[in-house]
A and B are shown apart, each in its own frame.
Chain A
Amino acid sequence: MKIHEYQAKEIFKSYGIPVPKGLVIELLDNGYRVFGDNIDEIFSSLEDAVKKVWDTLNKNLVVIKAQVHAGGRGKAGGVKLAKSLEEAIEITKNMLGNRLKTYQNPEGLPINKVLIEEGVNIDREIYVGLTLDRSISRPVFMISAEGGMEIEELAKEKPEAIMKAAIDPALGLNNFLEVHKVRPILFKLGLDKNLMKKFFDLLVKIYKIYMEKDASLVEINPLVITKEGDIVCLDAKIDFDDNALFRHPEIETLHDPTQEDPLELEAKKWNLNYVRLNGNIGCMVNGAGLAMATMDIIKYCGGEPANFLDVGGGANAERVAAAFKILLSDPNVKAVFVNIFGGIVRCDRVAQGIVEATKEVKPNVPIVVRLEGTNVEEGKKILENSGIENLVPAEDMLDGAKKAVELASKN
């Protein structure tokens, strides 16, 4: 699960990690809410809201940051500086209620909140990230003196600039254990003794957040050393392990549904795993691996999948109907390919579900169905005898993919 920068900074603050002083302005139906830093007030005009923020913060320079769940905000115009109240009002007006289009999300995400922070005197920028290194099954710090750059770019162009420290999860990073893992990095960064201590304390706290809150990523890009000799986290990003949310109800409340694709959100309600893509062939498959393989075979046959969708093991009529509805609400979908390997769930049951769901949803595009596995013959008979015109049976996976690609191109 992703959260906003201002929410991550609230968590940072609760662990004693320094962040710039800042306030959030949230767009409401009937006004503007200003909150943070012991303030929570509602204003009817945007001007008054920004003025409240301006008066609360240091007035020389503020940074206005669109709160969206996407990387590359800066380049996309989602981070701007303002040197006067008028300028701050202008920028905030242009952000709130609009969408921010980034290279990660070309359709754009709605900006319902902006974070306005005091500017800081930057001396140098450092990248700090903590995430799982799957090849060694350890949480690993990634630290680079080239702060501000996207880590993906850095990893590609200057991998040697990323210093790593893998922490033993049985020991953890604290003042007494695993210090030696990060010490070489502290020296390579060339920090003075005072800053070195502050920086080490910060790493300990980040590790603590990562483990205590079940994060999958904690990232600060950039972490800034100010001209006054302090450490401040200019940005903050925390992703959480969905599997662990059951023991963090306080984290679950931070979820912002406006930042998700509405179809993906609907799919989640049905416990369906759906990822929207750009093609025109809707896919419905049981199992994540087979679902990926189905996308691949569509591509192999010259088509483009419109989505990834795993209906899971129990492909009953209700779930299939829900999945159909979601698939078909994507206007790009010109044909659907249902690929089911019936194991414990029998094919005749699945076929029954598909027939019932098709009768209910009445799709206006062809539905190619490939069934294999337990009771496959009975399943095929049910499909054949259903009398539904746009239900097209397929012999095998290849046949199904070919038919779907052909029908989609005609439609």
Chain B
Amino acid sequence: MSVLINKNTKVIVQGITGKEGSFHAAQCIKYGTNIVAGVTPGKGGQVLEFEGPNGEVVKVPVFNTVEEAVKETQADASLIFVPPFGAADAILEAANAGLKLAVCITEGIPVNDMLKVKRALESYKDFRYVGPNCPGVITPEECKMGIMPGYIFKKGCVGVVSRSGTLTYEAAYQMTKRGIGQSTVIGIGGDPVPGTTHLDAIKMFNEDPETKAIVLIGEIGGTMEEEAAEYIKKHVKKPVIAYIAGVTAPPGRRMGHAGAIITGGKGDAKSKMEALREAGAYVCESPHIIGEMVKKALKEHGII
């Protein structure tokens, strides 16, 4: 098993006719993701052709609205590549159409829009969104909803949650090269108001019987990692391996991600690492040891 997505997940792509959307839809289909429809207002009626994992032709119909796409295809989840000015509303559209999950890749959505979206979706108990400004979610060898390179992941028992893209790839690849696979990898994104937090992901992994260990990759800014640490301390028996980027980041400077900034003496890497260590996590002092640390944790817990 896995969390959020698996081989049965029926995916639609919002913004499928755009440059990013069509490129990554093709990559996902090639990986084996079951993409059943695309949505671009005004482009409804088109049928796009992609190449499947075995070289077969995969036809994907395009609809004007998510509602129509869901009605015709019984889709469960949406992968969103809509440009920043429309992406926040695209998430709302996915929720209103009855989908269970949206993964929003779009970078550069105004923070106030995401504040309102997050508030509006508090009442949608069965709906979850991941992102925005994230690499996406992958359940290796089953379903890829995102822009990550598929081959660096391997099916297995380690759940990974991370705020950063390439750093996630780095960590997953270190594991894969050591023969350690992942149950699901969730890139929650680098924005200050994410739909899914570290805590949300940790809860899901904790409840998933197939996930035997959890890797948490955080970075400076906010208090998400501290909140996750508090929960881990109380409720998580599975080994947790953690790395926090930004030990060397100076306060007050934004490190690429809008969310990665130390403000008001809060959110520095050391205090996050301390909180995680106190919660019993294996804390990596440097990014190059994540793979080895996971191996060590799995061995110590008799998982491998």
> Are both chains from one complex?
yes
Residues of A bordering B, CB below 8 Å = 104, 132, 134-135, 137-139, 151-152, 155-156, 168-170, 211, 214, 216, 241-244, 246-247, 273, 275, 277, 285-300, 305, 308, 310, 341-344, 372-374, 396-398
Judging by beta carbons under 8 Å apart, are B259 and A134 in contact? yes
When C-beta atoms are compared, the residue in chain B nearest to A398 turns out to be B288
Tell me, rounded to whole Å, the shortest Cβ–Cβ distance linking A47 to chain B.
Answer: 38
Interface size counted on chain B using CB atoms at 8 A: 63
**CB of B255 within 8 A of chain A?**
yes
When C-beta atoms are compared, the residue in chain B nearest to A211 turns out to be B112
- Please give, as numbers and ranges, the residues of chain B lying within 8 Å of A137 by CB-CB distance: 115, 118-119, 193
Judging by beta carbons under 8 Å apart, are B265 and A155 in contact? yes
Judging by beta carbons under 8 Å apart, are B111 and A132 in contact? yes
Kindly state the separation between the CA atoms of A250 and B74 in the bound complex, as whole angstroms: 45
The answer to whether residues A290 and B223 also contact, given A151-B264, A243-B258 and a CB cut-off of 8 A, is: no
Beyond A132-B115, A292-B167, 15 additional pairs, beta carbon < 8 A: A139-B115, A152-B265, A155-B265, A169-B115, A169-B116, A169-B119, A243-B109, A289-B245, A290-B165, A290-B170, A293-B245, A295-B248, A296-B245, A341-B170, A344-B149
- Please give, as numbers and ranges, the residues of chain A lying within 8 Å of B221 by CB-CB distance: 134
Judging by beta carbons under 8 Å apart, are A289 and B119 in contact? no
Judging by beta carbons under 8 Å apart, are B193 and A289 in contact? no
Judging by beta carbons under 8 Å apart, are A134 and B192 in contact? yes
- Please give, as numbers and ranges, the residues of chain B lying within 8 Å of A300 by CB-CB distance: 285-286
Judging by beta carbons under 8 Å apart, are B169 and A243 in contact? no
**CB of B98 within 8 A of chain A?**
no
Judging by beta carbons under 8 Å apart, are A374 and B112 in contact? no
**CB of B34 within 8 A of chain A?**
no
When C-beta atoms are compared, the residue in chain A nearest to B151 turns out to be A374
Kindly state the separation between the CA atoms of A138 and B285 in the bound complex, as whole angstroms: 33
Tell me, rounded to whole Å, the shortest Cβ–Cβ distance linking A72 to chain B.
Answer: 11
Judging by beta carbons under 8 Å apart, are B166 and A289 in contact? yes
When C-beta atoms are compared, the residue in chain A nearest to B195 turns out to be A137
Judging by beta carbons under 8 Å apart, are B248 and A299 in contact? yes
- Please give, as numbers and ranges, the residues of chain B lying within 8 Å of A139 by CB-CB distance: 115
Partner of A288, one of B85, B169, B243, B256: B256
The answer to whether residues A373 and B152 also contact, given A275-B253, A292-B219 and a CB cut-off of 8 A, is: yes
Judging by beta carbons under 8 Å apart, are B249 and A293 in contact? no
Task: List B224-282 residues whose CB lies under 8 Å from chain A.
Answer: 224, 227, 243, 245-250, 252-260, 264-265, 269
Kindly state the separation between the CA atoms of A373 and B120 in the bound complex, as whole angstroms: 39
Kindly state the separation between the CA atoms of A151 and B111 in the bound complex, as whole angstroms: 23
Kindly state the separation between the CA atoms of A169 and B256 in the bound complex, as whole angstroms: 26
Judging by beta carbons under 8 Å apart, are B288 and A396 in contact? yes
Task: List B55-73 residues whose CB lies under 8 Å from chain A.
Answer: none
Partner of A398, one of B217, B252, B286: B286
Judging by beta carbons under 8 Å apart, are B249 and A289 in contact? no
**CB of B44 within 8 A of chain A?**
no
- Please give, as numbers and ranges, the residues of chain A lying within 8 Å of B163 by CB-CB distance: 289
**CB of B17 within 8 A of chain A?**
no
- Please give, as numbers and ranges, the residues of chain A lying within 8 Å of B219 by CB-CB distance: 288-289, 292
Kindly state the separation between the CA atoms of A293 and B165 in the bound complex, as whole angstroms: 12
